[in-house]
Each structure stands twice: as C-alpha cells, then as structure tokens.
Amino acid sequence: MGRTVAALTSDELEPAGRRQLLGRLVGEVRGRGVGRLFRPRTALRWMADAVADVAPHIPVRDLETLRRHFPDLDDEGLAERLIRNASRATAGVGAAGGGVASVEWVAAPTLLSAPILLAAETVAVVAIEIKLIGELHEVYRQPIPGDGLPERGLKLVESWSGQRGVNPMIPGVGVAAVLGTAARKELQKTLLSRFGRNLTTMGPLLTGAAVASYLNRRATRAVGEKVREDLRRTRPALDG
C-alpha cells in the first residue's frame, strides 16, 4: 500500500494513471478488512495507522532536486508552485474517486463501496499534503530532522495533523510514543474533518467528483498556506 500511495503523490500523473492507482488502493484497502470501516471510531484508527504506515514511503524531494525540477523559480515562486501542484493533485484524486465509484457501484451496493473509497481517497490526499509539507520545509531551509525515514515520516504526520511546521526542539521518539496520546488524538481529529468532508461528496456515479475535486483543491491550498506562513517566521537568515 505504501508504494501505491507514494505513486499517487506524483504531481505529474495523468488522470487515467491516477484513477488506476486509486482503484488499486481501493483494492488494497478492501483486502485489509471491509467490516472495520463501517464503524467510525475504528475507521479513524485504521486511517491513522495507515497514514503512519505510508508516511516513511512518501518521496519528499530535497532542495537540490527541487531546484533541478524548477530551475527558474526563487524560494517564494517555488513554494507557490509546490502548493499549486499539490492542490491540483488532490483535486485529481477527488475527480478520480468519481471514476472509481462509477465502476465500484456497478458491481456492488453503494454502502459496501463508499467506506472503502472514502478511506482510500482520504489516505491519498493526506499523503500528497504530507509530501507538500516536507518539500516546503526544504524550500525554507528547515529540512525535517530525524534519524531515518520512519522518524522523519512521523514528524511530517505530526506537522500535517496540526497544519504547522515541524518543531525541531521536540526530541525524536519511537512510533508507539508518537502515535500514543495527544499526537494520535490530533491526527484522528484532523482525519475526521477530512473524512466527514469527503462523505458529503459521495453521490451516484460521478455526481460527487466535481465537488470533491474543488474541496480537495481548496483544503490542500489552505494547508500549504498555513505551513508556509509558519515556516516563513522561522526561516533561518541566508548568508549574503
């Protein structure tokens, strides 16, 4: 599932490719147990665990790589481009969800498909926003601290939950501690708002796709802007 979600975070995916990957993710979510997703609290716990599982696999580009991809942009222009691309990517997930739903609902009743599709969409959107947060940290010279991908991934999960920059003064701790009390509650609270928003977009066939696309785009831009403002305040002074 980590590889599928990582592929979905690319801002260069064509609509058909995004729809195919989201369909694959729906199948992987279904394989992890349909029944659990009918109970809201259990669904939130499942999504929190899924986000923590995939976070270390999300391909966050470092500043050097970003400069190669966008050579003509200064820091502010680069940050704006990353926010724009991520917003388009999550909008694409919302639109792709309508395409997946049109196939799913032909084969099965709506109530069987909706929780799985909502969970898959939510995890995919969160992963794209986590990647955005990590790359904004690179742009503003505040790379994510940590020993290894798991620790850095979980710091990004914390940052996404609070929609703020990573606090480097918080010492690294193990997975169990990070997802223990306060951090887990904050993650589940933020996931609940996303999951609930996605629920309002579900409709027969493609009727919810345009709404989901718009809401995803707007929410991702809001996340990017909040984190960018936080990082601007803490950006280290550049030499010269």
Cα–Cα distance between 136 and 160 in angstroms, integer? 12
- pTM summary value: 0.81
Q: Which residues contact 217 (CB under 8 A, 6 or more apart)?
A: 87, 88, 90, 91, 94
**Phi, psi (5° rounding) for residue 119?**
-65, -45
Convert the pLDDT of each residue in 96-128 to its tens digit: 876 555 444 444 444 445 667 777 888 888 899
User: Which among 23, 32, 12, 25 is positioned nearest to 57, based on CA atoms?
Assistant: 25
> Which 3 state secondary structure label does DSSP give 85?
helix
Convert the pLDDT of each residue in 22-55 to its tens digit: 888 888 887 766 555 556 667 777 788 888 889 8
Within a 10 A sphere around the Cβ of 173, how many other Cβ atoms? 12
> Which 3 state secondary structure label does DSSP give 171?
coil
Tokens 């991934």 belong to 153
Mean of pLDDT values over 132-148: 90
Structure tokens at 168: 């480097």
DSSP 71-83: TT--HHHHHHHHH
